[in-house]
Amino acid sequence: MKITIAHSPDSDDAFMFYGLAKGGVPTGDLEVAHVLTDIETLNRHAHEGRHEVTALSFHAYPHVADKYALMPCGGSIGDGYGPLLVAREAFDPKWISETKVAVPGTLTSAYLALQLYAPGVKTIVVPFDRVLDEVREGRADVGLVIHEGQLTYGGQGLVKLLDLGAWWKDDTGLPLPLGGNAVRRDLGPEMMARLTRLVRETVKHSLAHRPQALEYAMSFARGMDPAVADRFVGMWVNDMTVEMGERGRKAVQLFLDRGAEAGVIPQRVAVDFVEA
């Protein structure tokens, strides 16, 4: 049976899936194909149920909950850190509602966090790797930064206004859930559980073979300095990626509940995690 696993072409996702991509995790009679594309595109593809297993933003989950269940592993969860708001010059972030913010997509969890912090803020959507340029070149006042831009914005002469992950933890005491992996429901409970175990095993394999996995991930690091890539991977692939636990599950549910209460998400959903 052929299974497609779709994820972003980022160094943290590449690190996470090293075990499967390079044969370190046995798949038995499953033929696993990897599809790499940006997270906003994956969020859109999930609407169609295109891939058996897909990375997606937790913000996108309520829109596809009829087709997918979430895995409790393979997630990117920031415990006290997360997407950044950056600008050319420092100012009090309470004024962000009066600015124009460049965002990397309206289904990203970063966008949901921004809307919870500054409801109704004016935004423009650009590819995630253009956000810093939009701010630096003056087409946006503020940038909502994800991926490696969280570590490299200073090199472009920009300053941090606010870490939305730190804000969320101060407000709730919980980590900020950003991206997860989901598995298609039509595969049935047994296969859903098997694929969940496979994703957990590839994360554990990568953490156990960190130097090799990091070397593989560097080919996806878009010219990032190896020390920066190492730090970036460490932020987003850790014990909570192996198993988010009750604290992580509670964070996902609260994040989406707050989004529904704010009207950013169309309706409340009870988050459904695969048990495996």
Contact call for residues 179 and 56 (beta carbons, < 8 A) = yes
Q: What share of the chain is helix, strand, coil (3-state, %, to 5)?
A: 50, 20, 35
**Catalytic residue, candidates 47, 147, 205, 209:** 147
Burial class (CB in 10 A: 0-12, 13-18, 19+), 50: middle
DSSP 48-96: HT--SEEEEEGGGHHHHTTTEEE-SSS-EEESS---EEEESS---GGGG
- Which amino acid is present at 197? R
Give the count of beta carbons closer than 10 Å to the beta carbon of residue 204. 16
Contact call for residues 109 and 85 (beta carbons, < 8 A) = no
* C-alpha to C-alpha distance for 239 and 203, rounded to whole angstroms: 9
Confirm whether 34 is a catalytic residue. no
Which residues are identified as catalytic?
Answer: 147
